[in-house]
């Protein structure tokens, strides 16, 4: 036997186009909501992943713009000023230091890259200390170069794919005409290491005329050390800037916060529009069925029955709309990812929009709550219809 909920569902089928447009409006709101919160989760996770995979908590660089330092180091960029390598000895005197590794970033214009050439970044590292900090880096083939090696290179997963190199191949640094032997290719990490070409730091210093100079010193602090006190100590060193990875994360999150506020505003507007759409659709439907609702009451429907029936209509619209929107968000997550990458100042590697079960449930609940809220007024109006008014319209 039919029940009130089926009657509600069949009511929505009367004006299919109107119901579909309302569902579409709700779906778009749900899509925006899922993408926004998915971005909220995904961005922070990706950023944490990137920062954790740096392997060090503090980065010592030459004095300059802290934002530049933060974003360039995360992106594996260059353009930074140089520090003297002997600073390592001084920093190492501190008890808090567990490990320290020098890094030198250099960039070369490769005329054979892309249509009009492209930049290739090299990271000079110390084979004795760097691998110990980045223990999570695994090799697809080969291994790190030995500390004494000079003309060897290790390639990140994407760099090796782009350059089409395997272990044992020769790699040439453009402009410098230096041939290096590929001794290792890393597995994919989902971080900027994938695109990096690792070269022994001494070789890079020599080739680029930067002997005794580095662009940064990565410091891993011992477990029980007071990080804040140690940072203060580092600041006392001349011409040095200390970037804590916690600070970097906060700085980037602050920058991205503006974009988030913008997207949140759009989401709220979309939700309000969807809510008004639901109220409009259901209220119109109530007014169109004015007589019919009166008759339902005259044949035995209590005001609560009518309220439930109309409320169910909004619930169905919102539930279908939310499911469609969530589906869209999941299918189009890649496109959302690309769009977001274009508008935010720094995008970490990995998926920026991450849709998980709890987010799906949350969105569904939010949209249904909105639907229930939006349905109160039309349902109340319908429940208040007096059967006599409907019957009177028959005339005497």
Partner 1 sequence: MAIIKAKELIKEYVRGAETVRAIDNVTLVVEPGDFLVIHGASGSGKSTLLNLLGCLDNPDFGEISINDQAIFKKGTKLSESVLTKIRRENFGYIFQKFYLIPTLTVFENVVLPGVFYCKDCREKVIERSKQLLSDLGLSKRQDHFPGEISGGEMQRVGIARALVNNPALLLADEPTGNLDSKRSNEIGEILTKLNREAGKTIIMVTHNQDLAKLASRKIELSDGKII
**Per CB under 8 A, 11 contacts partner 1:** yes
Report whether 379 contacts 8 (CB < 8 A): no
Q: What letter would DSSP give residue 345?
A: S
CA-based nearest residue to 377, from 267, 276, 274:
276
Does position 4 interact with partner 1 (CB under 8 A)? The reply is yes
Based on the shown chain and the rule CB under 8 A, indicate whether residue 81 belongs to the binding site for partner 1: no
Q: Using the rule CB under 8 A, which residue among 165, 202, 220, 297 binds partner 1?
A: 297
Of residues 77, 132, 174, 387, which one binds partner 1 by CB under 8 A? 387
Q: How far is it, in rounded angstroms, from Cα 225 to Cα 211?
A: 32
> What is residue 288's DSSP assignment?
H
Q: Which of 291, 339, 362, 377 binds partner 1 (CB under 8 A)?
A: 291
- Residues in 228-257 at the binding interface with partner 1, rule: CB under 8 A: none
The CB-of-27 to partner 1 minimum distance in angstroms stands at: 24
CB atoms within 10 A of CB 351: 19
- Among all chains, which residue has been given the structure tokens 């999150």? 253
Closest CB 315 distance from partner 1, rounded Å: 18
Residue number with CB closer to partner 1 (127 or 293): 293
Question: Which is closer to partner 1, CB of 19 or CB of 244?
Answer: 19
Q: Determine if 14 is a binding residue for partner 1 (CB under 8 A).
A: yes
Q: Is 90 exposed, middle or buried (0-12, 13-18, 19+ CB in 10 A)?
A: exposed
The answer to whether residues 124 and 201 touch, using CB atoms and an 8 Å cutoff, is yes
Choices 8-16, 115-123, 144-152, 312-320; region in contact with partner 1 by CB under 8 A: 8-16
Site string for partner 1, 335-374 (x = CB under 8 A): ----------------------------------------
Beta strands (DSSP E) in 49-133 are 58-62, 83-84, 97-110, 118-125
Size of the site for partner 1 (CB under 8 A): 30
Of positions 305, 319, 332, 362, contacts partner 1 by CB under 8 A? 305
284 touches partner 1 by CB under 8 A: no
Interaxial angle between packed helices 16-52 and 333-343, expressed in degrees from 0 to 180 and rounded to the nearest 10: 60
- Confirm or reject binding of residue 310 to partner 1 (CB under 8 A): no
Residue 10 binds to partner 1 (criterion: CB under 8 A)? yes
**Given the structure tokens 């203060």, which residue do they identify?**
232
Contact 307, 384 (CB under 8 A): no
Least distance from C-beta 250 to partner 1, angstroms? 57
Residue showing tokens 């040095």? 240
Provide, for the chain, the percentages of residues in helix, strand and coil under a 3-state DSSP scheme, each rounded to the nearest 5. 55, 15, 30
Min CB(319)–partner 1 separation in Å = 19
Of 64, 174, 303, 327, which lies in the binding site for partner 1, with binding defined by CB under 8 A? 303
287 binds partner 1 (CB under 8 A): no
Question: Distance from CA of residue 237 to its chain's centroid?
Answer: 36
Q: Does 15 bind partner 1 (CB under 8 A)?
A: no
Query: Segment contacting partner 1 (CB under 8 A): 99-107, 191-199, 248-256, 300-308?
Result: 300-308
Count CB atoms within 10 A of the CB of residue 30. Answer: 30
* Residue 302 in contact with partner 1, rule: CB under 8 A: yes
The answer to the question of residue 114 lying near partner 1 (CB under 8 A) is no
Q: Kindly report the backbone phi and psi dihedral angles of residue 193, in degrees, each rounded to the nearest multiple of 5, phi listed first.
A: -60, -25
Distance CA 30, CA 214 (A): 49
Q: What is the dihedral of CA 136, 141, 147, 150, to 10 degrees?
A: -130
At closest approach, how far in Å is the CB of 11 from partner 1? 6
Give the residues lining the site for partner 1 (CB under 8 A).
1-4, 7, 10-11, 13-14, 291-292, 295-305, 386-388, 391-392, 394-396
């Amino acid at each position: 036997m039919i029940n009130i909920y089926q009657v509600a569902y069949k009511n929505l089928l009367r004006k299919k186009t109107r119901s579909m447009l309302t569902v579409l409006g709700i779906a778009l709101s749900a899509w925006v909501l899922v993408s926004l919160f998915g971005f909220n989760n995904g961005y922070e996770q990706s950023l944490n992943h990137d920062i954790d995979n740096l392997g060090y908590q503090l980065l010592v660089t030459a004095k300059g713009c802290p934002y530049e330092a933060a974003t360039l180091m995360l992106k594996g960029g260059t353009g930074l000023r140089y520090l003297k390598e002997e600073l390592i000895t001084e920093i190492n005197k501190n008890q808090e230091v567990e490990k320290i590794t020098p890094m030198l970033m250099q960039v070369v214009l490769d005329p054979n890259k892309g249509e009009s050439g492209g930049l290739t970044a090299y990271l000079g590292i110390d084979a004795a200390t760097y691998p110990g900090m980045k223990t999570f880096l695994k090799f697809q083939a080969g291994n790190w170069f030995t500390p004494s090696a000079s003309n060897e290179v290790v390639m990140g997963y994407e760099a090796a794919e782009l350059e089409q190199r395997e272990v044992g191949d020769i790699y040439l640094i453009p402009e410098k005409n230096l041939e290096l032997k590929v001794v290792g290719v890393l597995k994919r990490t989902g971080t900027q290491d994938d695109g990096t070409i690792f070269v022994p730091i001494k070789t890079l210093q020599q080739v680029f005329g930067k002997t005794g100079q580095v662009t940064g010193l990565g410091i891993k602090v011992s477990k029980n050390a007071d990080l804040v006190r140690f940072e203060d100590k580092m600041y006392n060193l001349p011409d040095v800037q200390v970037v804590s990875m916690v600070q970097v994360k906060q700085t980037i999150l602050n920058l991205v916060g503006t974009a988030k506020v913008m997207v949140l505003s759009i989401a709220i507007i979309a939700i309000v529009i969807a809510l008004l759409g639901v109220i409009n659709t259901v209220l119109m439907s109530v007014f169109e069925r004015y007589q019919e609702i009166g008759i339902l009451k005259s044949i035995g429907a209590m005001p609560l029955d009518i309220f439930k029936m109309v409320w169910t209509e909004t619930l169905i619209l919102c539930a279908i709309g939310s499911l469609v929107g969530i589906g869209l968000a999941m299918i189009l997550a890649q496109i959302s990812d690309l769009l977001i990458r274009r508008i935010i100042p720094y995008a970490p590697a990995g998926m920026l929009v991450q849709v998980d079960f709890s987010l799906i449930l949350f969105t569904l609940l939010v949209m249904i709550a909105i639907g229930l809220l939006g349905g109160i007024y039309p349902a109340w109006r319908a429940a208040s219809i007096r059967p006599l008014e409907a019957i009177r319209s028959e005339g005497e």
